[in-house]
Amino acid sequence: MSWSARIESALAARHAAGAFRSRQALSRPDARWLESAGQRWLNFAGNDYLGLSHHPAVISAWQQGAAAHGVGSTASSHVTGFNPAQAALEHALADWLGYPRALLFLSGFAANQAVITALMGKDDRVLADKLAHASLLEASALCPAQLRRFSHNSVASLAQRLQSPVSGETLIVTEGVFSMDGDSAPLADLHALSQQAGSWLLVDDAHGIGVLGEGGRGSCWQQGVRPELLIVTFGKAFGLSGAAILCSDAVADYLLQFARHLIYSTAMPPAQALALHRALQCVQQGDALRAQLHSNIAFFQQQLRQHGWTPPVSTTPIQPIIVGDNARTLALAARLRDRGYWVGAIRPPTVPPGTARLRITLSAAHTQADIRGLVEALSDAGE
Ligand SMILES: *Cc1c(COP(=O)(O)O)cnc(C)c1O
């Protein structure tokens, strides 16, 4: 098959499955509104759970940082790209989350790829939750170690996987809050099992950090667990982008030698590190925002019940409505858009076949009227 035939046939298959993806340019997205070409929608698709993406203090930290330090970091962190703003942010994150060290990355995707490819050798194995994020599963599939998946949130299934022998080390990989389902992993049980087996546990808490636990410290803090490796990302509740790996001194030093995504990539601009540091303070002082968010989640579920729907089991800002069929999911999302509500239509392969869904996300920035309107629209569109 020629290159063009191969690409045409892949695109045709996506179209035929109702799984073709395209993007729409949206101006000024914030936690509440999206705009495009003079139209606007209430945003129930983003991950700006606390509304920090437009926080004046964070914006001004970025602006002042750019004025003082320029817009770029000029090189990777091993060359000239590491600076006091990043060092201070790493210290603050480590302190806050109770780890010896934190290392900054440009994205959660890069952090996950880096840590897994740097750690895993050919005799090792990754045991990953079936629903773990693409960045975790892809890294696990591409690294030389073997990858086995365990049933979603099943301690028994993990225990069974752990029974088969391996000559090297085992890394157990899961998420604090699952990105497409909004449910939480049983971290205490997973970690106990991991420790028993002499394995390490990696928790990607992209959707728990800032939202759950005392002071927004996330899923692990909430469940009283300190995994060997914790990944936090800044594209969700922090409202910016970037990520950090929290770990021991030895692992941090190891990653500084072997994490290629850190060594061979231009470091985070200092202005972004300053803005992130300010966002971290907003998160730390964000109890009122979290209370608003959790009351919005409860209100959404109560509204669903009032309309005769069974709410999702999730108690987090991710509230999926499973539809099943791709075309129906797209049609529902389109009808909601016509009524002024933007929700994500998530289809395979992002989610398992037959579980296409509306991924509704809530933010502290939403009002009760926004949420009531969404559920009414959902109820009308569903009929
Ligand atoms: C969003 C997400 C990532 C990727 O993080 P980015 O910073 O957006 O690259 C990784 N893991 C999970 C669970 C996510 O939801």
SS3 labels along the chain:
CCHHHHHHHHHHHHHHCCCCCCCCCCECCCCCEEEECCEEEEECCCCCCCCHHHCHHHHHHHHHHHHHHCCCCCCCCCCCCCCHHHHHHHHHHHHHHCCCEEEEECCHHHHHHHHHHHHCCCCCEEEEECCCCHHHHHHHHHCCCEEEEECCCCHHHHHHHHHCCCCCCEEEEEECECCCCCCECCHHHHHHHHHHCCCEEEEECCCCCCCCCHHHCCHHHHCCCCCCEEEEECCCCCCCCCEEEEECHHHHHHHHHHCHHHHCCCCCCHHHHHHHHHHHHHHHCCHHHHHHHHHHHHHHHHHHHHCCCCCCCCCCCEEEEEEECHHHHHHHHHHHHHCCEECEEECCCCCCCCCEEEEEECCCCCCHHHHHHHHHHHHHHHC
Catalytic residue IDs: 47, 133, 175, 179, 204, 207, 236
**What is the residue with the minimal CA distance to atom 6 of ligand 1?**
108
Q: How far is CA 32 from CA 54, 243, 337, in A?
A: 10, 24, 14
Backbone angles phi, psi at 190, to 5 degrees: -65, -40
Ligand 1 and 292: CB distance under 6 A: no
Q: Starting at the earlier edge strand, list the strands of the sheet with 39-43.
A: 33-36, 39-43, 341-342
Pocket test for ligand 1, best of 113, 115, 135 (most atoms within 8 A of CB): 135
Backbone angles phi, psi at 297, to 5 degrees: -65, -45
Q: Is 138 exposed, middle or buried (0-12, 13-18, 19+ CB in 10 A)?
A: middle
Distance, CA 300 to ligand 1 centroid (Å)?
25
Pocket test for ligand 1, best of 204, 272, 359 (most atoms within 8 A of CB): 204
Ligand 1 and 73: CB distance under 6 A: no
Q: Which segments of the chain have a pLDDT < 70?
A: 383
Distance, CA 24 to ligand 1 centroid (Å)?
20
Ligand 1 and 109: CB distance under 6 A: yes
The CATH architecture to which 23-50+287-382 belongs is: Alpha-Beta Complex (3.90)
Ligand 1 and 314: CB distance under 6 A: no
Distance, CA 139 to ligand 1 centroid (Å)?
13
CB of 334 within 8 A of CB of 18? no
CB of 234 within 8 A of CB of 205? no
**What's the CATH number of domain 56-284, 3.40.1480.10, 3.20.20.370, 3.30.70.120, 3.40.640.10?**
3.40.640.10
CB of 338 within 8 A of CB of 332? no
The angle formed by the CA atoms of residues 289, 295 and 298, to the nearest 5 degrees, is: 145
Q: What is the pLDDT of residues 217-266, one digit of tens each?
A: 999 999 999 999 999 999 999 999 999 999 999 999 999 999 999 999 99
Q: What is the pLDDT of residues 332-352, one digit of tens each?
A: 999 999 999 999 999 998 999
Identity at 35, one-letter amino acid code: E
Provide the pLDDT for residue 27.
87
Ligand 1 and 178: CB distance under 6 A: no
Which ligand 1 atom sits nearest the alpha carbon of residue 109?
Answer: 9
Which ligand 1 atom sits nearest the alpha carbon of residue 175?
Answer: 13
Provide the pLDDT for residue 383.
58
Predicted TM-score (pTM) of the model is: 0.96
Ligand 1 and 359: CB distance under 6 A: no
Return the domain boundaries, the chain.
Answer: 23-50+287-382, 56-284
Q: Is 360 exposed, middle or buried (0-12, 13-18, 19+ CB in 10 A)?
A: buried
